[in-house]
Amino acid sequence: MEMHLLPSLPSPHGLSRFSSLASLSPFHAFPAIRAPQFSRARPLVFRPLTAHEPPHPLNHPRFALLAQTLPTPGFCSCPRAPTSADSPFRCAPAASGDWRRRSDARVWAHQAACADGAGGQAEGLAERNGGANGNDCSWAPPRLSVAPMMDWTDCHYRQLARLMSRHTWLYTEMVVDNTLLHQQPHLDRFLLSPRSQRPVVLQLGGSDPPSLAEATRLALPYAYDEINLNCGCPSPAVSGHGCFGARLMLSPKLVASICAAMGEVAGAAGVPVTVKCRIGVDDCDSYEQLHEFISTVSSFSPVRHFTIHARKALLKGLSPAQNRTVPPLRYEYVFALLRDFPSLSFTLNGGVTSLQQASVLLDKGVHGVMIGRAAYNTPWHILSTADVAIFGAHSNPLESRRELLHLYAQYSDSAINQFGPGRPNVRTLVKPLLGLFHCEPGAGKWRRLIDTEIRQAKTIDHLLSLTLHAFPPHVLDAPPSSFLSHPTSPSSPTLATPPPAPAPALSAGG
């Protein structure tokens, strides 16, 4: 049986047994995860169900695990599936002029995937919370993830990304601990994430151990797969007045105490605590100082996974946007950490804009690669082939952008006004789609049409029906292209020689 390695989870007994964590192996073996496969040997036929039809998805043996989450009896709980009273688990023929006419032909396959995939996720949640098997949920290792980005990686973008890739790990926007503490009656606005979006990592920001521990406790019922501490944001509002983000790298002992407090809470539920950081801050940018930070945090907290943005942060003189481009990339620091901390796992972030680059870095030994703005600005090019190219799946989830828009419209139209009038509205829900046709014929015209028609559109489905005529059919129906042959893929990253290991006084603590 093919096996993958997954990072271990903290001790369920919290920090009372933390002294033994350093001696544990950081990996557990799990069977390889395969995406649900569907035979295409015969065409799918859609008509009113009869006794001769194949078994209904509701009769799937795992459906009992989903029953408690169904919004209305007889409808699928997955946001990607039809939820209106006009389409109960079967696909009515689309009108000849409907923009969905070619994507409806795989809705039955999606419903079967929902019964399989969502059921498996419900099982994983039950097991993680002490189910019958007592095993950890077996997601694919985070070989590829999408970076947390303020105002970008919200719940709606994550839904779009999950439709394109079943295995890529997704991060929330950073949520400040005090926001959760002061908005407890409205936690769903900040923490709600459909199960179909998992695996999802919640990123928290703050600098006070008790506050972050309480924020972790408030987040546990939302079943996130990891809790991540932000130690890399260079924004003045965060690192200046807030005194957290990248500034925390100047206080490794404080970071260790924060992660220990968060791990005390999250460890009891089997949720790992991780850290995302830079390679340095201002003049504190030597490899020895980065080594000391990793050693201190891993020695005095349960953190075993670090995401390293391979640039330093300049807190004075550069804007957050400049901090993403001006400081030079130092990938060699990440590879030195891989050498000096073999019991820890590291994800590399920064400057990766294609699956080709990610594949090269994975082949060179990093445990995972995180892609940021490229995954938002060109989501189809990055995520539509990730399952096959990075995770080794047999097939990718979708066959065309027409199909993707059909499924996303179903989700979006059910989410409109979920938290009150205009929360969210059509403009918010269409935002993740704007980069979907990057560099395609008609993309500019389509965005202009959206600006014009959004004033009268009441739903995403309505807005798409008014604007998608900007594209020729071959653009909407084109399958995902191979990441190796994509014409805009940049060249492979150049890697410098890693710096030497520090003196023995800074020996690895992980």
Task: Please report the DSSP string for 368-430 in residue order.
Answer: EEEE-HHHHHSHHHHHTTHHHHTT--SS-S-S-HHHHHHHHHHHHHHHTTTTSTTTT-HHHHH
Q: How many angstroms separate the CA atoms of 26 and 305, rounded?
A: 9
Query: Which among 91, 114, 231, 233 is annotated as catalytic?
Result: 233
* Long-range contacts at 423-427 (CB < 8 A, ≥ 24 apart): 423/189, 424/156, 426/454, 426/457, 426/458, 426/459, 426/460, 426/463, 427/454
Q: What are the phi and psi torsion angles at 84 (to 5°)? A: -85, 160
CA–centroid distance for 162 within its chain: 8
Burial of 412 (0-12, 13-18, 19+ CB in 10 A): buried
* CA distances (Å), origin 43, targets 40, 92, 115, 151: 7, 16, 20, 41
Known catalytic membership, residue 91: no
Amino acid identity of 191? L
| DSSP summary character for residue 137 | P
Kindly give, in sequence order, each residue whose CB lies less than 8 Å from that of residue 314, ignoring residues fewer than 6 positions away.
Answer: 234, 281, 282, 322, 323, 326, 327
Q: Are 205 and 244 in contact, with CB atoms under 8 Å apart? A: yes
Peptide bond into 424 cis (omega under 30): yes
What positions carry a catalytic annotation?
233
